Structure 1
Amino acid sequence: MKLKVVLVGTKGWADAHAKAYQASDSIELVGICGHSNTERLNKLADRYQIATRSLDLAKLLQETSPDIVDIVSSADARLELIKVAVRFPGVKLINIEKPLALTPSEAYEIEELCNTYGKMVLVNHQHKYLPAWRKAQQLLRDGAIGEIEFIRASTKVNIMEQGSHLIDMVMYFNDFSPVRWVMGQTGPYEGKDSSSIVAPDEAMASILFANGVRATIECGAFARSLKGETNPFYHIGVDVYGTEGHLKIALNQSLEVRNYITGEHTIEKSSWEDSYMDALIDYVNSIPGYVANPQAGHICDLAHAMLSYQVIMAIYHTAEYGGKVELPHRFEDSIVERFAVDADR
């Protein structure tokens, strides 16, 4: 029997989620919830022939009794929607888009709510399901470049937008080794990129992992450019250096692996444009297995998402107070709220 899902959101990425559910053999889309735009809600629901639709999430959940609530709304509305979803005993899992939250207190409240009500949570870092990126992680795990020593990662979009994906991928490539400390810096908020999420236009950090691997992160307008890219959202690259070689991957260009010992050198295609929909479908199809066996965990579960979110907050914290911060650490909202003040000026 298929799991039932209610989709919350009506903008572009919600359409991609609806399409993924239509392609799934294990999950059925039974309802769509909008915020205030009835016309956009009806247009999306009609496109996928979903009869049950509403601007009232509680009412929709009562009518449809879903197993999954998929929240593909703006980040500032996420917490209130989760507060509604957790109250329904039949809801087993809540899926949310990145970033996990806009402030530390929101992240902690989401974690506490879902733990209190016994809800599983996934954060949609679907980059892990892109074929080239999955292959890259497997190659690293198999020792294709020896033992990992250093990782360099960059994106030209801000840290709370594509930076959240980038840091998550660094954690994934390093097999989610715990972080010892983070030391970072941020620039002001000036709105240089096209993201709707308020965050510093530039951010950078040095990270030391418990397994001895070091990483540098660059996010925003000053980060390195990938030759040939015109879309700032495609300027995402991760370079991994090991004891025997290196691996370099760019979001929409190539995956390169070179082993200095054997001389082996391969380059293959890495494509967001060709693969993002298949990656999203694979991600969606991974949900039933997690629901059936929560103890097995999931590479996008709340515990993993909190690790990468802690790194982002550590960058904000050290930018404000200097020095470096050891993780885990409980952060206060003021490190983030100062950028919202700049955005309102």
Structure 2
Amino acid sequence: MEKPVYRVALLGLGNRGWSHLAGFRANADRFWIQAVCSSSRDKLRTVKEQDEAYLTYTDAEQMLAETRPDVFCFATPPNVRLSLIQLAARYGVKAVAMEKPIANSLQETREISRLCREHGIQVVVCHQHKYLPSFAKLMQVVRSGEIGDVVRIHAKTRGWLYNSGTHFVDYMLWINGGNEADWVVGHVHGKSKLDDSHPSPDFALGELHFKNGVTGVIECGYLSPSYLPPERFWTDNRLTVYGTHGYAWAETDGRWAAFTRHSHGRLLEGQELPWSPAVKDAIQAEYTKDLADWMDDRSKRHPCHFEISEHGYEILFAICAASLDHTRVDLPLQSGLHADMIGRMMQELPEV
């Protein structure tokens, strides 16, 4: 039986927008890119030169109203995510593919969640590094039992909290089998990144406790350990998993290592393909293919489904709240903590 081809409308032609476009093109047997929207007429001319069949728009609502797509993909700053989800609900979109972070506040994140549940919208958030060969190797080692039972997970990234940290808290949850955290403590400081398009403290450090007893640490920003030269800043990160019989780690730049019960006292090391445009396109294609499979069959839930990203956002929010309130924060968060965290940090954090 032939599988359906889903109609796609895409908003945003920045770097990530072109990546999403490439992912849909790589799965042309499952997706038809019907329309593209951008505020830049120059970019629209460029995309039209690549395929004259694309309908082009400068207004997202007009695009959705006239094309009624199955999939609405947007690669836009987080401060407009909620308004775009509202459009998706209004025009009967079946699935949304969006960038991270989900929003700029927990209130908006929970409103997005409510709207998508009520309208049956399937949502994927682009934490696509799960598809990297190095991360696949890490997952393979963990699942094989070669390091024993997982007891602790350590994530570190030089990128800041809501830029790269949103990726790595998601990968902590993923490598821990989707088990949620039940409390966090945290520290944040520095205000220079709070006016970024992904507003964040300059450095964040969080201690997590997961419901299955595993503990975790996540550190994001300029005090995070550096393993790579400055020109590899955006891939200078590491996810390490400690077990009862060893440990293993992976980086988005392709390196991995493992010390296991059968490695005979040696550290096994490997180098998959380093991060490059070709690797980026390859993993985006796999991420996009899995969206089609999930739309075909809801039991085949996408690894980057909204619920795991929503909980990851809640954890990052709680790290900030724990720091500002000087306390442990239990999850799920109670309504009294639903403050404007970015605004609080702007007001309360001292200058570095």
Cα distance, 1:315–1:51 mapped onto 2, change above 3 Å: same
What residue in structure 2 maps to residue 16 of structure 1?
19
Q: Does 1:155 align with 2:170?
A: no
Give 1:41 deviation, angstroms: 2.6
Question: 2:49 pairs with 32, 46, 51, which one?
Answer: 46
- My pick for the range that moved more, 45-54 or 311-320, is 45-54
What residue in structure 1 maps to residue 220 of structure 2?
219
What residue in structure 2 maps to residue 191 of structure 1?
193
Give 1:262 deviation, angstroms: 4.6
Residue 299 of structure 1 aligns to a residue whose secondary structure is: coil
What residue in structure 2 maps to residue 243 of structure 1?
244
Give 1:48 deviation, angstroms: 4.2
CA–CA distance in 2 between the matches of 1:130 and 1:292? 24
CA–CA distance in 1 between the matches of 2:262 and 2:70? 51
Counterparts of residues 126-205 of structure 1 (less than 5 Å): 126-191=128-193, 196-205=197-206
Q: Does 1:83 align with 2:89?
A: no
Deviations 1:86-109 (A, max 9, x none): 1112x2101110001111111011
What residue in structure 1 maps to residue 35 of structure 2?
31
What residue in structure 2 maps to residue 122 of structure 1?
124
Cα distance, 1:39–1:329 mapped onto 2, change above 3 Å: same
Instruction: Count residues with an aligned counterpart.
Output: 341
User: Match of 1:70, as an amino acid?
Assistant: C
Cα distance, 1:87–1:230 mapped onto 2, change above 3 Å: same
Deviations 1:158-177 (A, max 9, x none): 10000100111111111111
Cα distance, 1:98–1:48 mapped onto 2, change above 3 Å: farther
What residue in structure 2 maps to residue 64 of structure 1?
67
Question: Which runs of 5 or more structure 1 residues have no equivalent in the other structure?
Answer: none
What residue in structure 2 maps to residue 336 of structure 1?
342
Give 1:78 deviation, angstroms: 1.6
TM-score, normalization: structure 2?
Answer: 0.91
Contact 2:134–2:254 under 8 Å retained in 1: no
- My pick for the range that moved more, 112-121 or 228-237, is 228-237
User: Match of 1:284, as an amino acid?
Assistant: T
What residue in structure 1 maps to residue 318 of structure 2?
314
Give 1:275 deviation, angstroms: 2.0
Deviations 1:216-252 (A, max 9, x none): 1110011000144533211111111111111021221
What residue in structure 2 maps to residue 288 of structure 1?
292
Question: Which runs of 5 or more structure 2 residues have no equivalent in the other structure?
Answer: none
Cα distance, 1:286–1:265 mapped onto 2, change above 3 Å: same
CA–CA distance in 1 between the matches of 2:130 and 2:51? 27
CA–CA distance in 2 between the matches of 1:336 and 1:250? 29
Question: 2:328 pairs with 324, 334, 342, which one?
Answer: 324
CA–CA distance in 2 between the matches of 1:94 and 1:246? 36
User: Match of 1:94, as an amino acid?
Assistant: V
Give 1:261 deviation, angstroms: 4.8
- My pick for the range that moved more, 142-151 or 267-276, is 267-276
Contact 1:245–1:260 under 8 Å retained in 2: yes
Same amino acid, percent of matched pairs: 26
Contact 2:135–2:251 under 8 Å retained in 1: no
CA–CA distance in 1 between the matches of 2:301 and 2:315? 21
TM-score, normalization: structure 1?
Answer: 0.92
Give 1:11 deviation, angstroms: 0.9
Give 1:46 deviation, angstroms: 2.8
CA RMSD of aligned residues (A): 2.1
What residue in structure 2 maps to residue 275 of structure 1?
279
Give 1:321 deviation, angstroms: 0.6
Cα distance, 1:341–1:15 mapped onto 2, change above 3 Å: farther
Question: 2:307 pairs with 298, 303, 310, which one?
Answer: 303
CA–CA distance in 1 between the matches of 2:48 and 2:200? 32
Contact 1:18–1:48 under 8 Å retained in 2: no
